[in-house]
Amino acid sequence: MTTRLTVNGVDHEVDLPDDVPLLWVLRDALGLTGTKYGCGVAACGACTVQIDGEAVRSCQVALADVWGTVTTIEALGTPDALHAVQAAWVEHQVAQCGFCQSGQIMQAAAFLSQTPDPTDEDIDAAMSGNLCRCGTYPRIRAAIHTAARTLRET
Amino acid sequence: MANWGRIARRTFLIGSAAIAGGVAFGVWQYRRELPNPLEPGEGQATLNPWILIDQEGVTLIAARAEMGQGVYTTLPALIAEELDVAWEDIRVMHGPAAQAYYNGALMTHALPVNDYERTGFQDAMIEALTILPKTLGLQVTGGSTSTIDAYEKLRMAGATARETLKQAASERLGIPVANLATRDGRVIAPGGIEVPYADLGETAATMDPPRHVPLRPASEWRYLGRAMPRTDMVAKVTGTAEFGIDVRLPGMKFATVRMSPRLGGTMESFDATAALAMPGVERVIDLGTGIAVVATNTWLAFRAADAVEIAWGPAPYPETGEALLDAIRASLDEAPNSTLRDDGDVDGMEISGDDRVVEAEYTVPWLAHATMEPMNATALFTGDALEIWAGSQSPGFAEKAAAEAVGLDADAVTCHVTYLGGGFGRRGEVDYAVLAARVAAEMPGAPVQVTWSREEDMRHDFYRPAAVARMRGIIRGGFAQALDGKVAAPSVTRQSTKRLSGTAPPGPDKGHVEGMFNQPYAIPNYRVTGHLTDLAVPVGFWRSVGNSFNGFFMESFIDEMARAAGRDPLAFRLDLAEREHAPSAGVLEAVAQMSNWTGSPRRGVGRGVAMTYSFHTPVAVVVEVSDRDGDVSIDKAWVACDVGTALDPDIIRQQMEGGLVYGLSAAAMEEITFADGEVQQWNFPDYDALRIHTCPEIEVRILETQDHLGGVGEPATPPAMPALANAVYDLTGERIRDLPLSRRVRFVF
């Protein structure tokens, strides 16, 4: 059966069973590989996307349950037009291996839209579900503060 | 491959005639230029294996796995520094697997000497050892060697290419080379004439490059010595960087594997009926010791693999964690494999009444790499050729092993190296590439991506081995008068070399005792023996390898000795290091200053220090913890390293931060255990790591007093673990000798 889905402003008809997680719809059916598979059990945050602006773990959302329009890292900003969060990530040279960073950035962007002037504790609470094995956390924290400033000023 | 085994066997026997034999063997081949593996297309020109020029500009070949450590930035910076290319115009690619990209520095760790007290003779031996990787084309990313290997080679590649481009311009313009300069990808001639490299590449490619081009002094550097924007950063923050798992080919199938959870064990039978009944499942393939499922998407392949009923044979090793640790502990009482340090006379020391004798036994657990990107590879088999796409730290070995697995010549196999979503040593293995090749061989003409589930990845690693150390020390007059260390573990060097070459190198295993025998401490009676345990549990290179356990053993014990001597643990170490190796004393002084170390206790706060010299770099760490209602919070860490010359200070800082966090995570909470021959951890909920709210604030200082380059990817990991354990002792008064610490204390999570 086909399911209609809006991803990054584009409408798709997906011919997959209802219970396929959004993560694999994005990666294997739509070719949007910026969203990563890390654990499949919502323990690492690498698969974080936004549904109607809310950060969600796409490995836990079945295709049939997608309740709104989906935004992935590919549409948050582009290499030529970075989102403020991505620009802050570049400024602080956050990424090492980079595999978790799509999820970190999607989580941070959704968080900042709700919490424009976060404390370190706010950041800890919002970002603790996103694992990074390269240990980029101190830079993530600094980049979120920078992005928050940018977003408040624009 | 047979060659590698034979030569490795000879060359590992350092100190005998073997090294001389190695030189003789190597002379003709070592001096010979290696063929340039780049095959320029229409309108492209290549001047050497690292530089490709076309109308778009200049592409630089990094030829090392970018797994986060910044090689796609620092290696191009070495070339560009001499070639004169504008930073924003640099394009980087990995390039093919080829002999030209051998890692000459790789074998420097094979020399069983204290690196910190290198002599001219030892430098000559190390130079001679580069023959082995060159001759065999060992293109391996590991051992924190990438920049050490590249430092002169890549600057020379840039310099000779620049001079060749100037010669080409000279011929075209009729202006002597001496009157030409270069800037931002152009040759500049008097009178405002500028010729882009792109217009000169094809002519230059036909010319003989000049020999003996002098390299620019550090005082003239524009890129080196500065924090350059990483060339991979924008791609990694926009989701456009292609990791192995992101490879997409027309008509590609998605697959997964399920191998024996009793590692290396057999499969007795399987029933795929239920799996094959699932819509979208195309094949269930018998791999002998496991199965592969091919489907229309990865998630379906995972689910179908769960639905295959499999009867597994027994494990080829003792089935419980306790039995494995007992086997390791028992080898402490057997004859040592190595005694790489035996200063003074440990056994002959007479102990007087004022001496303090300190004895302790330590253990560390098995550890998984747990890279963020699970193991995966993509392969296309066409009958007479095989293409592989993989994030690999050793693509040449992957090609050879895959060729063997599918019955092709190695020449018929091409491995394309993508970005690596973490390596830490795991992606130096070739198992995941071989499995993808075997699945592809069952489906000629169809590209197939084989992705492991996180659970499969966690339970089929080449683990950092569990290890046991028995330490004995004597304190006399407040100083360490004697240290006798015995360390036992399965040998990573032997097992991994045997996997790659078919032969385990005999002789002393340096990797097994590194971090204990080669520490820059002036202890008059200082002996370290290594004891190897023969176990079939798969073990492999894990960030910092032997240093990852010996750093903990050594620096926990030094801390115990300092306490027994009634001394401040930092001052106690400084005494030992000052008399042996000034840069190591320097990093201790640096962290003392950075952390405002006073040695006086503070209520509710604990501090620990540790220093390990590894990968040619001394790193000292101070960790501060505090009591939060009975739980332990890791609040701050100060790191000082001495890398000789800091090629890119910010990438070095990243590696120090990352290496520290990797070590703290392991020390605090990571542990792989065995029951019924199977690994008991499945996923991040039972094999977690530090997260943003549990990660300390980190301050890094980079010193540059050593006269040689030091590695940076690994050396922060070993001292992080004992620094944390020592801080917990300082806080709680409890000396924890068995990792992970979470068995005995609760961290704030």
pLDDT bracket for residue B18 (50, 70, 90): very low
B237 and A123 within 8 Å at the Cβ level: the answer is no
- The answer as to whether B655 is a domain residue is yes
One-letter amino acid at B503 equals: T
Same domain flag for B406 and B327:
no
Interface of B with A in 251-270 (CB under 8 A): 254
Q: What average pLDDT does chain B have?
A: 92
The distance of A153 to chain B (nearest Cα, Å) reads 22
- The answer as to whether B28 is a domain residue is no
Contacts of B660 in chain A (CB under 8 A): 135
Does the predicted TM-score (pTM) go above 0.90?
Answer: yes
The distance of A21 to chain B (nearest Cα, Å) reads 8
A135 and B658 within 8 Å at the Cβ level: the answer is yes
* Percent of chain B scoring above 90 in pLDDT: 83
The predicted structure's pLDDT at residue B9: 34
Of A97, A100, A102, the CB nearest to B67: A97
Q: Cα(A124)–Cα(B593) distance, rounded to whole angstroms?
A: 29
End-to-end, the C-alpha distance of chain A in Å comes to 44
> Residue B373 is encoded by which pair of tokens?
């990107």
Residue B690 has pLDDT above 70, yes or no: yes
SS3 assignment, position A113: helix
| Mean pLDDT to the nearest integer, A124-151 | 98
B231-245 residue pLDDT tens: 999 999 999 999 999
Residue B28 has pLDDT above 60, yes or no: no
**Domain finish residue from B237, B262, B278:** B237
| Mean pLDDT to the nearest integer, B548-556 | 98
Same domain flag for B446 and B559:
no
Contacts of B238 in chain A (CB under 8 A): 34, 73-74, 76-79, 82, 86
Of B419, B683, B697, the CB nearest to A98: B419
Helices (H), ranges, B13-85: 18-31, 71-83
Residue B23 has pLDDT above 90, yes or no: no
Residue B433 has pLDDT above 90, yes or no: yes
User: Which of B87, B248, B461, B692 is the best substitution to test chain A (most A C-beta atoms within 10 A)?
Assistant: B692
Q: Cα(B315)–Cα(B495) distance, rounded to whole angstroms?
A: 17
Q: Does A134 touch chain B (CB under 8 A)?
A: yes
Strands of B181-183's sheet in order across? B181-183, B186-189, B193-196
Same domain flag for B705 and B594:
yes
Q: Does A17 touch chain B (CB under 8 A)?
A: yes
Same domain flag for B445 and B409:
yes
Q: Cα(B364)–Cα(B722) distance, rounded to whole angstroms?
A: 11
The predicted structure's pLDDT at residue B15: 31
Contacts of A135 in chain B (CB under 8 A): 657-662, 665, 690, 695
How many CB pairs below 8 Å do chains A and B form together? 192
- The answer as to whether B132 is a domain residue is no
For Cα atoms B723, B728, B730, give the angle at the middle one, nearest 5 degrees.
90
B683 and A40 within 8 Å at the Cβ level: the answer is yes
How many CB atoms are located within 10 Å of the residue B43 CB? 12
A96 and B650 within 8 Å at the Cβ level: the answer is no
For Cα atoms B613, B359, B661, give the angle at the middle one, nearest 5 degrees.
35
Residue B10: burial class (beta carbons within 10 Å; 0-12, 13-18, 19+): middle
Same domain flag for B393 and B490:
no
Phi, psi of B629 (to 5 degrees): 55, 45
B372 and A100 within 8 Å at the Cβ level: the answer is yes
**Domain finish residue from B237, B267, B289:** B237
B232-282 residue pLDDT tens: 999 999 999 999 999 999 999 999 999 999 999 999 999 999 999 999 999
Contacts of A28 in chain B (CB under 8 A): 254, 296-299
Q: Cα(B543)–Cα(B540) distance, rounded to whole angstroms?
A: 10
- The answer as to whether B14 is a domain residue is no
- The answer as to whether B20 is a domain residue is no
Same domain flag for B224 and B272:
no
CA B338 → CA B92, B189, B415, B491, B531, distances in Å? 43, 62, 38, 12, 7
> Residue B415 is encoded by which pair of tokens?
């491995």
- The answer for residues whose C-beta is within 8 angstroms of residue B43's C-beta and 6 or more apart is B54, B55
Same domain flag for B728 and B621:
yes
Residue of B nearest to A22 (CA): B299
The distance of B248 to chain A (nearest Cα, Å) reads 7
pLDDT bracket for residue B584 (50, 70, 90): very high
A20 and B297 within 8 Å at the Cβ level: the answer is yes
A128 and B373 within 8 Å at the Cβ level: the answer is no
Contacts of B451 in chain A (CB under 8 A): 37
Contacts of A81 in chain B (CB under 8 A): none
The predicted structure's pLDDT at residue B365: 98
B237 and A97 within 8 Å at the Cβ level: the answer is no
The predicted structure's pLDDT at residue B55: 86
* CATH at B554: 3.30.365.10
Beta strands (DSSP E) in B664-738 are: 674-675, 678-679, 697-703
* Owning domain of residue B574: 321-367+463-743
Same domain flag for B350 and B382:
no
Contacts of A70 in chain B (CB under 8 A): none
The predicted structure's pLDDT at residue A127: 98
pLDDT bracket for residue B42 (50, 70, 90): confident
**Domain finish residue from B185, B215, B237:** B237
Q: What is the DSSP letter of B466?
A: P
B372 and A38 within 8 Å at the Cβ level: the answer is yes
End-to-end, the C-alpha distance of chain B in Å comes to 48
Q: Cα(A66)–Cα(B21) distance, rounded to whole angstroms?
A: 67
Q: Cα(A119)–Cα(A104) distance, rounded to whole angstroms?
A: 17
Q: Does B625 touch chain A (CB under 8 A)?
A: no
- Domains of chain A by start residue, with CATH: 2-75 (3.10.20.30), 77-153 (1.10.150.120)
A131 and B238 within 8 Å at the Cβ level: the answer is no
Residue B356 has pLDDT above 70, yes or no: yes
Closest among B267, B294, B258 to B375, alpha carbons compared: B258
Buried b (16+ CB within 10 A) or exposed e, B611-647: bbbbbbbbbbbbbbbbeeeeebbbbbbbbbbbbbbbb
- The answer as to whether B115 is a domain residue is no
Q: Cα(B415)–Cα(B95) distance, rounded to whole angstroms?
A: 10
Same domain flag for B288 and B350:
no
The distance of B8 to chain A (nearest Cα, Å) reads 32
| Mean pLDDT to the nearest integer, B667-682 | 98
Same domain flag for B472 and B438:
no
Q: Does A39 touch chain B (CB under 8 A)?
A: yes
Phi, psi of B155 (to 5 degrees): -65, -40
Q: Cα(B437)–Cα(B443) distance, rounded to whole angstroms?
A: 10
Q: Cα(A96)–Cα(A103) distance, rounded to whole angstroms?
A: 14
Q: What is the DSSP letter of B672?
A: B
pLDDT bracket for residue B99 (50, 70, 90): confident
- The answer for residues whose C-beta is within 8 angstroms of residue B241's C-beta and 6 or more apart is A98, B232, B235, B419
Q: Does B391 touch chain A (CB under 8 A)?
A: no
Same domain flag for B199 and B264:
no
Q: What average pLDDT does chain A have?
A: 97
Q: Cα(B660)–Cα(B651) distance, rounded to whole angstroms?
A: 14
User: Which of A85, A134, A136 is the best substitution to test chain B (most B C-beta atoms within 10 A)?
Assistant: A134
- The answer as to whether B173 is a domain residue is yes
Of A38, A72, A135, the CB nearest to B657: A135
Same domain flag for B222 and B363:
no
Residue of A nearest to B418 (CA): A97
| Mean pLDDT to the nearest integer, B555-575 | 98
**Count of domains for chain B:** 3
A97 and B420 within 8 Å at the Cβ level: the answer is yes
How many CB atoms are located within 10 Å of the residue B177 CB? 14
Residue B109 has pLDDT above 60, yes or no: yes
| Mean pLDDT to the nearest integer, B48-75 | 92
| Mean pLDDT to the nearest integer, B146-169 | 93
Residue B118 has pLDDT above 70, yes or no: no
SS3 assignment, position B620: strand
- The answer as to whether B3 is a domain residue is no
| Mean pLDDT to the nearest integer, B89-94 | 93
Q: How many residues does chain A have?
A: 154
**Is the distance from CB of A104 to CB of A132 less than 8 angstroms?**
yes
| Mean pLDDT to the nearest integer, B468-481 | 97
User: Which of B73, B232, B236, B628 is the best substitution to test chain A (most A C-beta atoms within 10 A)?
Assistant: B236
Element (DSSP H or E) covering residue B379: strand B376-381
Kind of pairing between the strands at B376-381 and B448-451: antiparallel
Beta strands (DSSP E) in chain A are: 2-7, 10-15, 48-51, 54-57, 70-71
B279 and A41 within 8 Å at the Cβ level: the answer is no
